[in-house]
Amino acid sequence: MTEETNMTKEEQESKDPMRNKKNPLGEENTTNLLVQFAIPSIIAMLVSSLYNIVDQFFIGRSIGELGNAATNISFPLTIFCIAIALLFGIGGASAFNISMGKGEREEAVYYMGNAIVMILLGGLVLCLITETFLEPMMRFFGSPDNVLEYAKTYTRIVAIGFPFMILTAGGGHLIRADGRPRISMICNLTGAVINTILDALFVFVLHLGMAGAAAATIIGQIVSGLMVIWYLAHCKTVSIRKRHLLIRRNYVSRIASLGMAPCSNQLAMFFVQIVMNKSLKYYGSLSVYGEAIPIACAGIITKVNQVFMSFIIGTSQGLQPIVSFNYGARKFDRVESAYKKAIGSGFVLSLGAFFLFQFAPRQIISIFGDGSAEYYQFAENYFHIFLFFTFINFMQPITSNFFTAIGKPKRGVFLSLTRQILFLLPLILILPLYLGIDGIMYAGPIADFMAGLIAAIMIGNELKRKEYREHKK
C-alpha cells in the first residue's frame, strides 16, 4: 500500500494549493502579521537571554569578577547549543512553511518530524562531549588558572541541560511555524521565571555559588523543554505520526541547508568567542587590567548586547513564516512589504540601543556587581568603542534570515558569516598587534559597518529581481 493511500481524506484535500488562500499568512495585513509573530519571538529571545543575564547577576553579586569570568569561559557552549537549535529549528520551520505555502502538506509534516529528532540528537551528543572533555575544553576556551575551577563547576552542571536548552530554542521555531508564537513564548517564559526564582534561592539563601546558579538554569530548561515536547505532540495545523519521526536523508538535508545561515552565524560566534577570550587573556596580561578583568567585562557586555539583539533576532524570526509562506505562494509584494517593515523596526530598536550603550555604560555594568577602577574603565571603553555601530546591527541578521526564509540558503550563509568570520576574526588577530588590547575593541565597529554595508547591497540586488517588479504593477 502506498503512502498516498495511507493519507487521510483531509491530508489529500490539503494538497490543493487553493486551500492556502485561507491561511492568514497569505491574506492578513503584513504589519499585523509581523507584530503577531515578532513580539512573541522577541519575548522568547529575551527570556532565553535572561538565562545568562540572571546567572551573571547572581554570580557577580555573590562571587565577583572570577565568577563572571567563568560564565564567559563557558559561554561558547551556549552559543553552540543555539547553533544546533537554529540549524534544525529555523531550517525545519522554513522547510515546513515553504511546503505549506505550496500546498504540500504531507511533505511539510516530514520536515517537522525530522527536525524534532535531529534537535534531540544534537543536544545529547553535545552533552556527552562536554562531560567527557570538560577540563581541556575549558582551557581551550581561554580559562585563566584562577578561573578554571569556577568554570568547570558551572559547565559540568549546565551541560546536563543542553538537550533541553536546544529543544526549547529549536522547538520554539517549529511551534511558531505551526502558527502558535504565543505558545513558544510561554515555554521560554516559564523556564526563565523558574530559573530566576531558583537562582535567588540557591545562590543567596542556600549559598550554593556557581553550582547553585547552574542547577537553577537546568531546572528551568528541563521544564521548558518538556512543555515544548507536549505542544509539538499536539500541533494545530498538522498531526505528527511515528512515520514522520523516522530520519530521512532528503528531509534532513533540506532542513540543514535552510538552517545553515543562522547556524553558521552562531558557529562563527562560537569560534570568535574562543579567540576573543584567548586574546583578552593574553593582551590583558600585558596591560594594567590583568587576565580576568577583560574576560569578565567582555562577557557581561556580550550578554547585555544579547538582550538588544533579542529584539533584532526576534523580529527576523517573526518575519520568517510570513516570508516563507508568501514566497512559496509567489506573493512577492507581500514578501517585500514584510521585509521592509522588519527593517524599519530594526532600525528604531538599534538606534535606541546605541544611545543606551554610549551614555549609560557604567550604570549598566554596575548592575552585575562591584569592581576595581580598572574594571569600570575597561567596561566603559568596551561599550563606547566595540559597540559603537550598534545602530546598523539590524541589517545583517534580518537580511541573512530573509534569504534563508525564501529558500536561498547559500546567500544567507555567506551573509551570516560576513561580520564574524570575514571581518571580526581577522581584525581581532591583527589590530592588537599594533594597538594592544584596544585593538580588540576597535575590531567590533569596523566589522559591524562592513557587514551592514554588504547586507544592504545584497538585499538591494534581490529586490530588483523581476518577480518583485512585476507584482508592483
43-57, 98-112, 423-437, 456-470 — which one is most confidently predicted on average?
A: 423-437
- For residue 364, give every residue at least 6 positions away whose Cβ sits within 8 Å of its Cβ, in sequence order, or none: 304, 356, 357, 383
**Does 9 have pLDDT greater than 70?**
no
- For residue 244, give every residue at least 6 positions away whose Cβ sits within 8 Å of its Cβ, in sequence order, or none: 109, 110, 112, 113, 114
pLDDT score, position 448? 95
pLDDT score, position 469? 67
HEC letters along 139-193: HHCCCCHHHHHHHHHHHHHHHHHHHHHHHHHHHHHHHHHCCCHHHHHHHHHHHHH
Q: Is the dihedral of CA 348, 350, 351, 357 positive or negative?
A: positive
Q: Is the dihedral of CA 443, 449, 455, 457 positive or negative?
A: negative
CA 273 to chain centroid: 15
Widest Cα–Cα separation across the chain? 75
Cell of 243: 512515520
Query: Percent helix, strand and coil across the chain, each rounded to 5?
Result: 85, 0, 15
Mean pLDDT across 117-121: 94
pLDDT score, position 6? 47
- The pLDDT tens digits of the residues spanning 298-332 come to 888 888 898 888 899 889 888 988 888 888 788 88
d(C-alpha 447, C-alpha 415), whole Å: 12
CA 102 to chain centroid: 28
pLDDT score, position 3? 43
pLDDT score, position 268? 82
pLDDT band at 22 (very low <50, low <70, confident <90, very high): low
pLDDT score, position 8? 46
Mean pLDDT across 44-58: 74
CB burial class (10 A; 0-12, 13-18, 19+) of residue 334?
buried
Structural contact between residues 79 and 244, judged by C-beta atoms closer than 8 angstroms: no
Mean pLDDT across 41-53: 74
Which one, of 154, 152, 432, lies nearest residue 294 by Cα? 432
Q: Which residue has the higher pLDDT, 241 or 65?
A: 241
Mean pLDDT across 416-434: 92
Q: Within 10 Å of residue 277's Cβ, how many Cβ atoms?
A: 24
Which one, of 144, 167, 224, 234, lies nearest residue 192 by Cα? 224
Q: Give the length of the chain.
A: 473
**Does 152 have pLDDT greater than 50?**
yes
Q: How far apart are the first and last CA of the chain?
A: 48
Q: Within 10 Å of residue 443's Cβ, how many Cβ atoms?
A: 26
Instruction: Read off the DSSP letter of residue 333.
Output: H
Cα dihedral 442→446→447→451 (10° resolution):
160
HEC letters along 236-262: CCCCCCHHHHCCCHHHHHHHHHHHHHH
pLDDT band at 451 (very low <50, low <70, confident <90, very high): very high
pLDDT score, position 434? 94
Mean pLDDT across 25-33: 82
Q: Is the dihedral of CA 166, 252, 263, 351 positive or negative?
A: negative
- Side-chain-side CA neighbours of 162 within 13 Å: the count stands at 27
Q: What is the mean pLDDT of the chain?
A: 86
**Does 367 have pLDDT greater than 50?**
yes
Range name among 78-87, 248-257, 325-334 with the lowest pLDDT average: 325-334
**Does 87 have pLDDT greater than 60?**
yes
pLDDT band at 77 (very low <50, low <70, confident <90, very high): very high
**Does 13 have pLDDT greater than 60?**
no
Mean pLDDT across 144-164: 92
